[in-house]
Amino acid sequence: MKQLIYRSQPFGFDQAMLAGILMQARRNNPANDITGALICRRDMYIQLIEGPEGSIDALFKDISVDDRHANVQLMLSGETEERMFPDWAMLDDTMPSMTFSQKEVEGGSVAAATPEALRKIFERIAIKARETG
């Protein structure tokens, strides 16, 4: 199974666009055996997606050309034995205090984050999601 983390900048971000992205992911991902989570701020997305290699590669290709994203950057791509978000077609950013504040985003923390640091953030989100479930 493949796990991938990317970051991008929203193009024309608003709550309606975010709702559309989440609705599309929750509709399409189960059919492709994809799970994951999205961290979202006004000027950045960080997303972890996991599932069969072909499905993940196809989804990332679509995201890379989606006009709702700008400056898409692959941060981590590799094999994993176990899903981090097995029960979530797409978990949204319901715990922003666990991730980057707007001030941290503006200060460059996302750009400076290593792939492993981003993965650890998603690990914390996954643990919290299982606890609050």
Mean pLDDT of 56-71: 91
d(CA 33, CA 130): 19
Q: What is the pLDDT of residue 133?
A: 65
Question: Which residues are CB-contacts of 133 (< 8 A; sequence separation ≥ 6)?
Answer: 87
> What percent of the chain clears pLDDT 90, i.e. is strictly above it?
47
Asked if pLDDT for residue 94 goes beyond 60, the answer is no
Mean pLDDT of 65-93: 90
Mean pLDDT of 90-112: 74
Maximal C-alpha separation, the chain: 38
Report pTM: 0.87
Report the b/e string of 59-82 with b at 16+ CB within 10 A: bbeebeeeebbeebeebeeeeeee
Q: 100 falls in which pLDDT band (50, 70, 90)?
A: confident
Asked if pLDDT for residue 102 goes beyond 80, the answer is no
Question: Which residues are CB-contacts of 15 (< 8 A; sequence separation ≥ 6)?
Answer: none
3-state secondary structure of 62: helix
